[in-house]
Structure 1
Amino acid sequence: MGDSRCSNGVQQKGKMLSDAQLFDLEFEKLVSELTEQDFTDPVLTDALNRLREVLRYNAPGGKRNRGLSVIGSLRELVSPSELPPDEVHRALLVGWCIELEGIGLDAINDAFLLEGAIYRLLRRHCRGQRYYVHLLELFTETSFQTELGQALDLMTAPPHKIDLDRFTMERYKAIVKYKTAFYSFYLPVAAAMYMAGIENETEHNNAKTILLEMGEFFQIQDDYLDCYGDPAVTGKIGTDIQDNKCSWLVVSALGIMTPQQRTELEACYGRSDAESVERVKALYDTLEMPIRYHQHEEESYRRLKKLIQLHATNLPHAVFLNFAKKIYKRNK
C-alpha cells in the first residue's frame, strides 16, 4: 500500500525515493500549481494565500493511507514496465485529491476551496486520459455519499439530545458505509482500477463488496479504540461517550443489556462529567465489550478472507490484503 518498498519507488537525483517520499514532493508541486501558476490577477492574492494556508494546515501529516493507496493499488494492478513516470505522477496527484476530500468539513468556505482544488487538479492533469470521466464521476458520487453519511450521523446523535432509540445496528452500519467506507476504502482502489484500465462494472462491484466490509470493521475498530485504546499510543483521548456518538460499543451494548442497565446508560451517556463517562465504561466492562470486540475482529477477518476468495477472482489479492494488514490488530 502506501509504504511501498524502494523497488516500487522512483529514482530522482541519484536517490531511490519511496512512494511516501514522492507523495510529499507531489504535495509541494500541487500547492505551487494551485496558488501561483493558475492565477495572475493580484487582486486574488489574499484569497490564494488563504487557499495555500488551508492546504498546508489540513493536508500534510497523519498516515495518509487513503492517498497512498492509489499508487500502492495501481502498482499491484499494473506491471512496472507498463507504469511510466507520468502515470505514477497522476496516481500521486489523484491520491492527494482523495486526501483533500476528507478535510474542511467544519469550515464551509474552506471546504469549497478544497473541493474546487480537487477538480482543478484532476482537469489539469488527467483530462486527456481515458479514465478522466470515470474519476470525475467517482469523486462526485463519493462526495455525495460521504455527505449523506455525515448528515445521518449528525441527525442520529445531535449534541445534548440523548435518544438511544435511534442507536440501532442498521443505522450504525448505514452511517459507517456512507461516511467512512466509500471514501476511505473504495475510493482509492476504484481510482487505481480506473487508471489501470479496469472499467468493468462487475469488477468494481466485486471490489466494493470487499472494501465496504473492510471499511465497516475499520470504523468499529476506531470506536473500540476511542474507549479502550491507550492515548499514549493512539495519540488522542476518546470522546465518543461525551459526544453522544452512535458508536459500535453503545449500539452493541444496547442489544444485550437489561432494562436496568439501559436506565443507567440513559442517565450517563452523552454527558461530559468524568463520573458519567466512568459509569458508562463500567457498564461496558460488565457486558464484556472488549471480549465481544475481539471475537468480532476474528469473525470479521475470516469473513473478509472469504470475500476476497469469492469476489477477487480477477483482481490481485494483494490490493485488499495490503489494506487488511494495516487495520486488523492495529492499536492506533
Structure 2
Amino acid sequence: MGSELELDEARARFVGLYDRLKDELLQDPVFDLMDEARRYVEEMLDYNIRGGKLNRGFSVIETYKLLKDGQDMSEEEFFLAGVLGWSLEWLQACLLVLDDIMDNSTTRRGQLCWYKLPKVGSRAINDGVFIKGSIHKMVKRYFRDKPYYVDLLELSDEIALQTSFGQMLDLVYSHESERDLSKYNMPAYRRIVQYKTSYYSFYLPIACALLLHGEKPENFTDVKNVLVEMGILFQAQDDFLDCFGDPEVTGKIGTDIEDHKCSWLIVQALERGNDDQLKVLYDNYGKGDPDCITQVKNVYKELDLENAFFEYELSSFAELLSSIEDLPNPAVQEVLKSFLRKIYGRKK
C-alpha cells in the first residue's frame, strides 16, 4: 500500500472510523434506546469489537488500494472500504462471542470472555445476534444505492451461514460424548477449515474489495479457490504453532491436544503412525492430564511432524503461487501474492 508510514496512517484512519459507525448505530431511531440500554450496547460493542488485530477489516482497504493499481483512493473510496472492513470486524465479534460460549472459553484477547462477566452471562447469546443484525444496518446506510448492494448482502449472509456450518462440524467432531479419532482424516479436516476459517477470514475481505471495485461475483470462482487453499494453509500453521510454537511469541498456550481438536498434526499422526503409536494417541488424545499431553507430543516428535509441516508449508506455498500466477488479472495476482507473503513462515 506504500511505505510503512503510509500504512500506519491508513490503519489509524481505519481505526478512527469505528467511533463514527458505533455512534450512528446507537443513534439509529429504530432502536429507541433508553440511557441504560445505550450504555450497555456501547460497552458490549467496545468490549467485543475493539482489541483485535483488525487484519480482516484492514485487508479490504489494502486490497482495494492494490486493485486501483497505484492510483490514489478518494476520501469516499477509503470511507466505503473502511465501512466494509468494519462490517467484517463486526462479524468477527459476533462469531467470537458465540464461539466462546460454545467452547466454554475463559479468556479472549487478554480479558474475560464477554459471557463470563457476571452482569452478562447468557445475555451474550442475544448480544451476538444483535451484533450480526447491526451489520445490515451499517451496509444498508451506505450501500443501498450501489449497484452491488444485493451482492454484498448475499455475500455476507452466505459466508455467515458457511462459517456457522464450519463451527457445527468442528463441534460435532470434537464433542466430548462423540470423540472418536477414527473420524479424523484430511478430507474432514479440510472441510472444517474451509467452512470455519477460509471463507470469512480470507475470501470475504477480498470479495468485498472486488465488489467495491466494480468486479462481478461470477468472476470470483478462481480467486475463491485460491483463498480457500490459503486459509487451509493458515489453519495448518495455527495448528502447528499450537503445539510447537513459542508461547512468548504466539501469545497463547496451545490446547488443541486436550480439546480433542481435529488438527493438522493429529491427522498427520494418524496417517503415519504404527500400531503402538496409534494406541498411544487413542489412549491419550483429548485428555487434560499433562502426562497424556506429553505422550501425544512424543509421538509427534517420533514421527518428525515438525519437519513434515515445514515440507507441507513449502509445497503449499509453491502450489498457491502457481495458481495465483495462472489468474488473468495482474492486480488480483498482486493482491493474492501480498496475502501469501504475509502468512508464509509466520511464527504467530
Do these two structures clear the TM 0.5 threshold for a shared fold by scoring above it? Answer: yes
Counterpart for residue 13 of structure 1? none
Counterpart for residue 259 of structure 1? 275
Counterpart for residue 22 of structure 2? 31
Counterpart for residue 49 of structure 1? 39
Counterpart for residue 119 of structure 2? none
TM-score of the aligned structures, taking structure 1 as reference length? 0.91
Distance 1:62 1:326 in 2: 17
Which runs of structure 2 are paired with 1:1-332 in the superposition (5 Å)?
5=3, 18-38=9-29, 41-43=32-34, 45-79=35-69, 81=71, 83-103=73-93, 104-105=97-98, 106=101, 107-159=124-176, 161-199=178-216, 201=218, 203-313=219-329, 315-332=331-348
| Amino acid paired to 1:20 | R
| Amino acid paired to 1:142 | I
CA contact (8 A) 1:160 1:270 kept: no
Cα shift readout 1:160-219 (whole Å, capped 9, x = no counterpart): 643001111111100000000000000000000000000151x30111111111111000
CA contact (8 A) 1:51 1:113 kept: no
Displacement of 1:7 after TM fit?
7.8
TM-score of the aligned structures, taking structure 2 as reference length? 0.87
Cα gap change, 1:164 to 1:279, in 2 (>3 Å): same
CA contact (8 A) 2:327 2:333 kept: no
Aligned residues: percent identity? 38
Distance 1:42 1:204 in 2: 40
Displacement of 1:80 after TM fit?
6.0
Distance 2:212 2:77 in 1: 8
Query: How many pairs were matched up?
Result: 321
Counterpart for residue 14 of structure 1? none
| Amino acid paired to 2:131 | L
> Which runs of 5 or more structure 2 residues have no equivalent in the other structure?
102-123
CA contact (8 A) 1:210 1:311 kept: no
Displacement of 1:37 after TM fit?
4.7
| Amino acid paired to 1:154 | L
Displacement of 1:159 after TM fit?
3.0
Q: Tell me which moved more, 308-317 or 34-43.
A: 34-43
Counterpart for residue 12 of structure 1? none
Cα gap change, 1:38 to 1:30, in 2 (>3 Å): farther
Q: Tell me which moved more, 216-225 or 58-67.
A: 58-67
- What secondary structure does 1:124 align onto? helix
* CA-based RMSD: 1.9
